[in-house]
Structure 1
């Protein structure tokens, strides 16, 4: 039996340990550094007395050792929750260069299946040594479970780094995706590195005809080329779903020339820009960290003028704004909640858990105008808590609806404040609805289900 060294001999909820191991494999195409970086994280939901813990290992992709996903505890947590139902996740990769972060990434050539299996076989003794003792209770050596990290990025470059007083470190990166040189600009936070906070289509512009290849790396090396973010079309599905939620009060919104919208959370400003420029709303935005707003203005084409108010400076700003809603006589035809949890947890990735307290939900209800609507982006990891939140909303609002983005474990929750005249999505007399249909795919409106 392989003896597991303490403290890894037992599963300990939220335990995180990193260590270096001499690289006896020395595989030049995958694991090549003198020492390997090994990181072990136990799930916060794991049970110390579990007799059948699920242990899995992920080999860190070559050239991504300094990406936040693989070199930080927050990134490790994101990966653990992404794969789900794990008791312990083990990462094994090359030792990252000291004081160096990933600024540019190109995936290495693929290694064939036979070669990869050989690497796995040689890692098995190390992985078994990182299993808890309970894994050996039946007198057999545990067979290591290997996970595969999939990424559709063929080229990535960091174009700006920021440190906000509230959100901490974050970056703006340009990426090229697999297939037909699809270019994107993304905003990512170090505290939740696997979550893309904002993403937009990126257009290359030039005053001369571009004759070089149109891949991102070549375009960046062309001095005549500049890049412009396109905020008129949503890349992220949940934003299409959030805006489609307006259809439930279309009969009401058709009366307004410039309805009022409140956006709790700005990020790259994608939703706010869309509501301002495409939907012609008057928008109030609430953001805790001024550096996030600065990044939105510099790199995401965020509207520098117009009827926008931004509230900060403390991280509780959005929540405090809602709690103080009764002091603010302004009401809104739509209140959007687009905020991620500040830390990875086993309950919700979005919004912060504080938003499900009754005092906050009541504040949200107070901010919604008569016949208005609350629209929330919700990413629940705990379905029982999600069901409880829905019940709370049903008690405070007239009707509650849901759009289930099944492939993303993402829900958009829509709550109407008061009875609204029925809105038929095929009603050709409703100008607001016609505009909405011209901008948002109808599949999202057709996916709205009353709860």
Structure 2
């Protein structure tokens, strides 16, 4: 089927077109054109992106959800209205292992030869043709090795991979969990190290051990630092209790149990995710780590109906993200931001307890609403800016705890400072009014 060039002259919100283009003898290119959900011709901005060679089958570059997140996160002066992706025709139907050294980068002549195509695929504004900037996708992934691709009844397809990263010439290995519905977002990652050192070049042939002593997911250490808000109440507690809504690979649960002596209850909606956490990320289900395959929000609401003082939690960690692809990556889900849900969370929390929430705001309005709803239910609210341009950690307490950074050192707080950066504890700031929320949100970039 041939495409009418006039098809691309106008913007159509959420329109997604993928087609194959012959290029030089037997070589074909895969072209994808995505218009933003709120494409506005008056403020149109278009960019093209080259798909890295060897990663054409990666869900980031081969699915609508991956393209949408690329469009939303492209480093351009103005929000993009259209993103054009160009890459080699995929040779497989699913993600495969990757080695950057086997794939040279796209050549400049190829980009120049495709300039007329990019002009034809750009929307026409007032009859003018604008040059389309070409972006290069870059991340720290040097190699990847797919361990398994499976499917869960709730989260859909998921992928477990070992990756070799390189930061300023320094290599590091990690094990990652990604979902197809949000492929650009790493659900869980743990540091791993080769059993045989660096003798093997092929990542597929290397054996690894998990390093459970460090949290490499950017927001997890700030979440743990949030417990410092109630450190004075945890002094002398032999075995405090934590509820984790959202398990993923279980890095947070295992860390709380192993390094801070918590008894932990983890709730994850998909049984397959729990099995993956056990098989690939070393999560154990024993007398101190209890795992439940349930919807986290429903679990809290049901638990609140029959809660007793003995069964309450000292800490509740909320690490839930939205399953709505149209929102991109957003946390917590809008279903959590309801007074009835927050009241249920409060019911299962002990009087001196704390709720720590990982947030990835989809907009300033969403973040303000979340803040207002939490402040209506809890006594005090604090915040940590993770500093990665995406995450904020919100910390809500049942009681007034004063200035968190002025807390006197005790056994628990000293232990906490040994396992997470003091900078996160010292950066905790109180949110007392809407102006504080706005200031925080706009300071991100």
User: For 1:65 and 1:205, how far apart are their aligned partners in 2?
Assistant: 31
1:107 CA displacement: 4.3
Cross-structure match for 1:44: 37
- Residues 108-163 of structure 1 show CA distances to partners (whole Å, capped at 9, x for unaligned) of 45559xx42x3322212111211223x3x1x4321112222111111111112221
Structure 2 residue aligned with 1:323, among 293, 297, 301? 301
- Residues 62-92 of structure 1 show CA distances to partners (whole Å, capped at 9, x for unaligned) of 1111111001111111211221611111111
Cross-structure match for 1:91: 85
Q: 8 Å contact 1:252–1:420 — kept in the other structure? A: no
Structure 2 residue aligned with 1:378, among 359, 362, 365? 359
Cross-structure match for 1:432: 412
1:157 is aligned to 2:145:
yes
User: For 1:61 and 1:214, how far apart are their aligned partners in 2?
Assistant: 27
Q: 8 Å contact 2:144–2:203 — kept in the other structure? A: no
Q: 8 Å contact 2:263–2:289 — kept in the other structure? A: yes
For residue 61 of structure 1, give the secondary structure of its aligned residue in structure 2. Answer: coil
For residue 202 of structure 1, give the secondary structure of its aligned residue in structure 2. Answer: strand
Q: Does the C-alpha gap of structure 1 residues 350 and 423 become closer, same or farther in structure 2, counting only changes over 3 Å? A: closer
TM-score, normalised with respect to structure 2: 0.89
- Residues 379-424 of structure 1 show CA distances to partners (whole Å, capped at 9, x for unaligned) of 1121121012111111111111111123232101111112236655
Q: 8 Å contact 2:379–2:397 — kept in the other structure? A: yes
1:228 CA displacement: 1.2
Q: 8 Å contact 1:258–1:280 — kept in the other structure? A: yes
Cross-structure match for 2:135: 147
Matches within 5 A, 1:242-253: 242-253=223-234
Cross-structure match for 1:75: 66
1:230 is aligned to 2:211:
yes
Q: Does the C-alpha gap of structure 1 residues 100 and 312 become closer, same or farther in structure 2, counting only changes over 3 Å? A: closer
Q: Does the C-alpha gap of structure 1 residues 100 and 347 become closer, same or farther in structure 2, counting only changes over 3 Å? A: closer
Q: Does the C-alpha gap of structure 1 residues 240 and 232 become closer, same or farther in structure 2, counting only changes over 3 Å? A: same
Q: Does the C-alpha gap of structure 1 residues 160 and 403 become closer, same or farther in structure 2, counting only changes over 3 Å? A: same
Cross-structure match for 1:21: 21
For residue 257 of structure 1, give the secondary structure of its aligned residue in structure 2. Answer: coil
Q: 8 Å contact 1:348–1:382 — kept in the other structure? A: no
Matches within 5 A, 1:331-410: 331-346=312-327, 349-410=330-391
Cross-structure match for 2:435: none
- Aligned-residue CA RMSD (Å): 2.2
1:35 CA displacement: 1.9
Cross-structure match for 1:298: 279
1:4 CA displacement: 7.0
Cross-structure match for 2:98: 104
TM-score, normalised with respect to structure 1: 0.88
User: For 1:71 and 1:422, how far apart are their aligned partners in 2?
Assistant: 48
Matches within 5 A, 1:186-265: 186-206=176-196, 213-214=198-199, 217-218=201-202, 220-221=204-205, 226-265=207-246
1:443 is aligned to 2:431:
no
User: For 2:12 and 2:30, how far apart are their aligned partners in 1?
Assistant: 21
Q: 8 Å contact 2:249–2:281 — kept in the other structure? A: yes
Cross-structure match for 1:180: 170
For residue 194 of structure 1, give the secondary structure of its aligned residue in structure 2. Answer: strand
User: For 1:242 and 1:193, how far apart are their aligned partners in 2?
Assistant: 23
User: For 1:297 and 1:82, how far apart are their aligned partners in 2?
Assistant: 32
- Residue segments in structure 2 that go unaligned for 5+ positions in a row: 432-445
1:34 CA displacement: 2.3
